[in-house]
C-alpha cells in the first residue's frame, strides 16, 4: 500500500515539475513574443518618425513643433539651417527665439489654442534678418494648435521669409507712384498749352504758338522716353522675359555708334567724348550693352549740362577672361551721400525741374544695373566731386562654342 502511495506521489511530483517546466517555457515564449512585439512597435514608431521627419525636411519653410510647456520638440532642415544646426530640442521658446514678437505670438496660441497667419517685421539685429543685409526682414508665421492623443497638445509653427516679396511690393508701389508723378508733369504742360492754343485767337501770335509747340514736342519726347524705359525695365525684370541674345560684337564700333547718336547733345554742350576702347569683342546681347553704355554716357552729359565736360570710355581684358569697361568724366561728380541710391528708379542727384531744360527720366541708371546683372556682370561707381566720376563694369566673357 505504501509502495502505491509513494509511486503515485512520485508520478504527481513528476507531472507537477513537468507542468512547471512547461509553464516556464510558455512564460519565456510569452516574454519573447512580447519583446518581439515591443521591438516591432518601436521599429514602426522609429520608422514612422523617420518618415515624418523626411516629410518635414522636404518643406521649403522653417518648421517647429512646440509642446504646451513651451519647449521645442521637433524641427526640420530649414529651421536648423537658420540656427546653423544648433541643438534646439527641449530648449524653451525664450532660449530659441530671441525676438519678442515671435515669442508673444507662440505664447498666445499655447494659452488660447487657435490657428492664424500673419507677417512680422523683425529688426536688422535679429537672427532671422541675417540675409537681409542690415535691413529689417519680414517673416510670415503660421501658428496652429493641435491635439496629440487625448490630453496632449502642441503648437506647430511654420516660418516663411517674405522679405523679398515685401520689398518687391514696395518697389512696385513706389514705381507706380513715381511713374504717375513723372507722367503727370509733362501731360499737365501739354494739356495747358493745348487749351491755350485751342482758345479763340490762340494761334494768332505765331511766335508764342511756335514756342508752345516746341515745348509740347519736347515733353512728348519725354513721355515717350519714360514709357520706353518703363517697358525696358519691365522686360528685364519679367520672369518670362525674352532670353538674352548672346553673341560677340565689336565694343569699339558700338561705342562709336553711341557717340554718333549723341553728337547733337555733345556739340550743344561743347563736350568731348573719347573712345579709348581697343579692338576687342564683347560677348553679350548687343542691344542691352548699347542701352547700358548709351545711358552712362548720356547721364554724364546731362549731369554736366552747364559746363563742358570730357568723357572717356575705356576697356581692357583681365587674365580671368573678364572684361573691365570704364566710363569716366571730370565733371561736377556725385555727392557721397547720393552714391548708394543712384541706381534706384527715378532717383536724381539734382531734384529741380525746369521747363526750359528737360532732365532725364530717372530710369537710365536703373536700366543700366538691371541689364548688367542680366549678363551676370556687376557695376560700381566712385566719384570725387569736381575731380572725377568713374563707372566700372566687370563682366564675365563666356567662351563661344
59-161 belongs to which CATH class?
A: alpha beta
For domain 245-401, give the fold: Heat Shock Protein 90 (3.30.565)
Cβ–Cβ under 8 Å, residues 4 and 12: no
Q: Which one, of 349, 394, 388, lies nearest residue 372 by Cα?
A: 394
Strands laid side by side in the 272-276 sheet = 272-276, 310-317, 323-329, 388-395, 378-384
Cβ–Cβ under 8 Å, residues 142 and 158: yes
Domain with CATH 1.10.287.130 in the chain: 163-242
With residue 146 as reference, give the H or E element that holds it. strand 137-148
The helix/strand/coil state of 268 is helix
pLDDT value of residue 229? 73
User: pTM value?
Assistant: 0.55
Residues with Cβ within 8 Å of residue 317, at least 6 apart in sequence? 280, 323, 324, 397
Domain with CATH 3.30.565.10 in the chain: 245-401
pLDDT value of residue 355? 35
Exposure string of 364-382, with b = 16+ CB inside 10 Å and e = fewer, is bbbbbbbbbebbebebebe
Helix, strand, coil shares, percent, the chain, to 5: 50, 20, 30
Q: Tens place of pLDDT for every residue, the chain, 401 residues?
A: 555 557 777 777 777 777 777 777 777 776 766 766 666 666 666 676 678 788 888 888 999 999 988 999 999 999 999 998 888 999 999 999 989 999 999 999 998 888 889 999 999 889 898 887 778 899 999 999 888 665 678 899 999 999 888 877 776 777 777 777 778 878 888 888 888 888 766 677 788 888 888 888 888 887 887 787 777 777 776 655 557 788 999 999 999 999 999 998 899 999 999 999 998 889 998 989 998 999 999 989 988 888 889 999 999 988 777 899 999 999 888 888 888 888 877 666 654 433 334 355 667 888 899 889 888 899 999 999 889 999 999 998 876 54
Domain with CATH 3.30.450.20 in the chain: 59-161
For domain 163-242, give the fold: Helix Hairpins (1.10.287)
Q: What is the CA radius of gyration of the chain?
A: 38
Q: How far apart are CA 193 and CA 209, in angstroms?
A: 9
Mode of pairing for the β-strands spanning 310-317 and 272-276:
parallel
DSSP state string for 219-267: HHHHHHHHHHHHHHHHHHH-TTPPPP--EEEEHHHHHHHHHHHTHHHHH
The helix/strand/coil state of 279 is coil
Cβ–Cβ under 8 Å, residues 72 and 90: yes
Strands (E), 149-214: 152-161
Amino acid at each position: 500500500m505504501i509502495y502505491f502511495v509513494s509511486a503515485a506521489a512520485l508520478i504527481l511530483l513528476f507531472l507537477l515539475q513537468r507542468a512547471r517546466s512547461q509553464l516556464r517555457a510558455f512564460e519565456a515564449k510569452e516574454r519573447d513574443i512580447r519583446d518581439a512585439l515591443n521591438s516591432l512597435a518601436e521599429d514602426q514608431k522609429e520608422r514612422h518618425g523617420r518618415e515624418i521627419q523626411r516629410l518635414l525636411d522636404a518643406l521649403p519653410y522653417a518648421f517647429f513643433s512646440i509642446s504646451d510647456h513651451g519647449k521645442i520638440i521637433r524641427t526640420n532642415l530649414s529651421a536648423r539651417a537658420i540656427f546653423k544646426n544648433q541643438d534646439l530640442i527641449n530648449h524653451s521658446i525664450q532660449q530659441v527665439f530671441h525676438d519678442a514678437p515671435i515669442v508673444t505670438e507662440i505664447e498666445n496660441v499655447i494659452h488660447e489654442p487657435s490657428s492664424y497667419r500673419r507677417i512680422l517685421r523683425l529688426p536688422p539685429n535679429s537672427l532671422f534678418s541675417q540675409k537681409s543685409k542690415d535691413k529689417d526682414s519680414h517673416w510670415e508665421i503660421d501658428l496652429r494648435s493641435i491635439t496629440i492623443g487625448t490630453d496632449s497638445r502642441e503648437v506647430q509653427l511654420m516660418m516663411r521669409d517674405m522679405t523679398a516679396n515685401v520689398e518687391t511690393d514696395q518697389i512696385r508701389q513706389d514705381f507706380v507712384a513715381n511713374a504717375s508723378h513723372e507722367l503727370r508733369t509733362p501731360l499737365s504742360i501739354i494739356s495747358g498749352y493745348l487749351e491755350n492754343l485751342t482758345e479763340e485767337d490762340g494761334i494768332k501770335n505765331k511766335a508764342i504758338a511756335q514756342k508752345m509747340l516746341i515745348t509740347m514736342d519736347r515733353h512728348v519726347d519725354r513721355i515717350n522716353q519714360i514709357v520706353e524705359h518703363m517697358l525696358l525695365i519691365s522686360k528685364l525684370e519679367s520672369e518670362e522675359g525674352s532670353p538674352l541674345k548672346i553673341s560677340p560684337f565689336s565694343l569699339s564700333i558700338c561705342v562709336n555708334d553711341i557717340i554718333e547718336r549723341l553728337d547733337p547733345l555733345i556739340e550743344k554742350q561743347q563736350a568731348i567724348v573719347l573712345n579709348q576702347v581697343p579692338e576687342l569683342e564683347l560677348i553679350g546681347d548687343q542691344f542691352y550693352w548699347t542701352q547700358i553704355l548709351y545711358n552712362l554716357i548720356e547721364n554724364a552729359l546731362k549731369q554736366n549740362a552747364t559746363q563742358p565736360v570730357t568723357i572717356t570710355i575705356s576697356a581692357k581684358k583681365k587674365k580671368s577672361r573678364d572684361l573691365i569697361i570704364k566710363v569716366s568724366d571730370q565733371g561736377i561728380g556725385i555727392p557721397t551721400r547720393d552714391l548708394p541710391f543712384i541706381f534706384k528708379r527715378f532717383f536724381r542727384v539734382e531734384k529741380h525741374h525746369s521747363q526750359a531744360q528737360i532732365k532725364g527720366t530717372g530710369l537710365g541708371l536703373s536700366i543700366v544695373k538691371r541689364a548688367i546683372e542680366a549678363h551676370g556682370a556687376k557695376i560700381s561707381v566712385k566719384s570725387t566731386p569736381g575731380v572725377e566720376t568713374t563707372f566700372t563694369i566687370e563682366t564675365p566673357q563666356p567662351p563661344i562654342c
